[in-house]
Amino acid sequence: MGRIKKKGTSGAAKNYITRTRAVKKLQISLPDFRRLCIFKGIYPREPRNKKKVSKGSTAATTFYYTKDIQYLLHEPLLNKFREHKSVAKKIARALGRGEVGDASRLEKTLIPKIKLDHIIKERYPTFVDALRDLDDALSMLFLFANLPSHQHVPAKTIELCQRLCLEFEHYVIASHSLRKSFLSIKGIYYQATIQGQDILWLVPYRFVQRTGGDIDFRIMGTFVEFYTTLLGFVNYRLYTSLGLVYPPKFDAKSDAHGGELGAFRLEGRGLGATEESATNGEEQKLITSAEAQAEVDKIAALAAKEQQEDEPENAVVRTEEEDTEKIDTFEVAAQDADVLPQPQASNAEVASLFAPFTFYLSRETPRAPLEFLLKAFGCKRVGWDGNLGDGAFTTDESDPSITHQIVDRPALPSESLPQVPEAPKSNGEKGKVQWPRSTMPGRTYIQPQWVWDCINQGKLLRPDLYAPGAELPPHLSPWVKGKKGEYDPTLPLAEQELEGEAEAFEDDEDEEDEEGSSDVEMAAANGTNGTNAIVDREGSVEAGEGMDVASDESDSEESDEEDAGEEFDGLDSEAESEASDADATLRRHQRELKAEFHGEKIQPVVQTKKEKNAEIRKKAEKKRKEEAEEKERQKMMLPRRKRKLLKRIEHGEDKRDKESEALRKKRRRIEKAQEAANALS
């Protein structure tokens, strides 16, 4: 006879451990246990059968893997937590005795400093692993960088998050690795491709943040402590890969005046003298080595000399090569052929999207995201009003070198603006009043969305569509790809509507207008308001209605028979309509033959718009009915399991088609209202 196993000593009961037992096993407090689990990346687990794990109990319990807790037994941070606990007891004892000086001395000298370097190396053995886990880190640090300081979030933590985020943005600008951005309700999404990894993070808008009391900042602070260490490692590796010195030089005075990105100056790592890159308006030069730079200059001189010698002979060949360097576009060969994905622009073209322009940001525009986006896509000269902060290329709005000005308010008539005295310049000339009172000739005025849409589409869009006060095009997410049959706001309705859908909408609108006009006429004849008459008619109860509580069986049988008769009549309605159409065509043909026999002139039958729409709708419905019947015949050949799967797929497609049709109807109503308003104006 085999040995009887004791309950709870093997299987799922042994693989899981409760949080209370784990805390007792590690001999630390619950806050320290949470902190340690966050640092090590250990999270609660949900067993398949809680009764087996908890030995029949159904109480709400948090479980962990037993092997994860055993792995924590050898963590060096446990000793740091215990040392911190003992020093905290000594400080509390000194404060209880009134020895404030001893307590401060103990806090400065004996409090252990916790370093997470070994944990970063354990959790991310390769640099690619760290990049893959950078999404949440960047989102959390950008969130804390925009928070106000209070008792739970100290100012030092906010300053550290701001510095690390700005350093990362400088790398994205220098490497031109930013790809897409999107304005959403939550904030601004950014996506950068770094060493083949797509990194997506969220930056909140700079509104006044009000932190509620239901937020546990201790847990969030633990994540911030870990993420700051991780981003510090990542920034160091990224800067050294470009040959930049890390950390970059930081100008505290410029940062105090709102410099932000302009408060950092990047340096190239060189053996001799280093060349500093300017913050705004100058070219950035990275020198990795003096010998390497000399070799590069020598090769460049030789290449230029050879180009000058071969210029007259190879002029035609070079023009052909330039033509071949252009990106090809794939066109659809047949009507039902597959649509091939178009090749995207090269990184060099995307990186220099805004390079030839000089931008000026008005006071009402968000300076920080626009400065980051413009510089990340090649713009070297970005100016703004002096009230927005330090580090601008120019603060003079009338600078003639400005090619584009970004504004976020409509152009108002000069009569509605208050009178402002013109400020005299230093040389005695009167300063010109600029936007919104006047515009500079030769300058393009655009709204901020133009920058985001140009970046997402990888090309410069028409600026007149984004002029001040203009109705902007829809701003869609660049990560959502439209599927066949879905509503696309960028395409016209004629390309998306099904056959006969526009005619059906016109008929429905005409019927609604006729019903509304008839109701108004009846109300006017009765001497009452139209809307009140409609409400009274719908809400009124005629004599005898609502009085019968119980009905006889005969009444129910009669009603069932009537419903069945109505259903039967509905089934033959299509056949009757087809027969009536055939009779109408036969009578028309007979009239034509009679007129031809008597030698009379045959008058053409002029169809009304309603009749034409009805004819188009009938053809479309007939075509769809034939397709549905053919599809049903094909489904009969499928096995039962696949037929059920196809039914679920069709249910989802029908739901999507109904939503798309509702959106198209809504857009058509809006366009019709706009046309009516334009006609009246």
List Cα–Cα distances, 627 to 376, 624, 640, 644, in angstroms.
52, 5, 21, 20
Selection from 67, 93, 79 nearest residue 32 by Cα: 79
Q: What pLDDT sits at residue 515?
A: 59
Residue numbers of the chain with a pLDDT score lower than 50: 271-279, 282-290, 292-293, 296, 303, 307, 311-325, 428-431, 520, 528-571
Query: What is the CA angle 348-349-352, rounded to 5?
Result: 85
Q: What pLDDT sits at residue 608?
A: 65
Give me the phi and psi of 559, to 5 degrees please.
-65, -40
Query: What is the CA angle 55-61-66, rounded to 5?
Result: 70
User: What gap in Å lies between CA 283 and CA 259, rounded to an integer?
Assistant: 19
Pairing label, strands 404-406, 264-265: unpaired
Domain boundaries, the chain: 12-109, 117-265, 347-413+433-480, 490-509+611-681
Q: What pLDDT sits at residue 428?
A: 47
User: What gap in Å lies between CA 351 and CA 377, rounded to an integer?
Assistant: 5
**Pair of tokens at residue 142:** 């950008």
Bridge partners (DSSP) listed for residue 16: 65
**Pair of tokens at residue 123:** 């959790």
User: What gap in Å lies between CA 431 and CA 424, rounded to an integer?
Assistant: 6
Dihedral angle computed from the Cα positions of residues 344, 349, 355 and 361, in that order, rounded to the nearest 10 degrees: 10
Peptide bond into 492 cis (omega under 30): no
Q: What is the pTM of this model?
A: 0.70
Query: What is the CA angle 339-345-351, rounded to 5?
Result: 155
Give me the phi and psi of 276, to 5 degrees please.
-85, 140
Q: What pLDDT sits at residue 143?
A: 94
User: What gap in Å lies between CA 347 and CA 342, rounded to an integer?
Assistant: 15
Q: What pLDDT sits at residue 367?
A: 93
Which class is domain 347-413+433-480? alpha beta
**Pair of tokens at residue 571:** 């089934």
User: What gap in Å lies between CA 461 and CA 657, rounded to an integer?
Assistant: 31
**Pair of tokens at residue 225:** 């402590």
Q: What pLDDT sits at residue 545?
A: 40
Q: What pLDDT sits at residue 121?
A: 93
**Residue 179: CB partners within 8 Å, gap ≥ 6?**
191, 192, 193, 198, 350
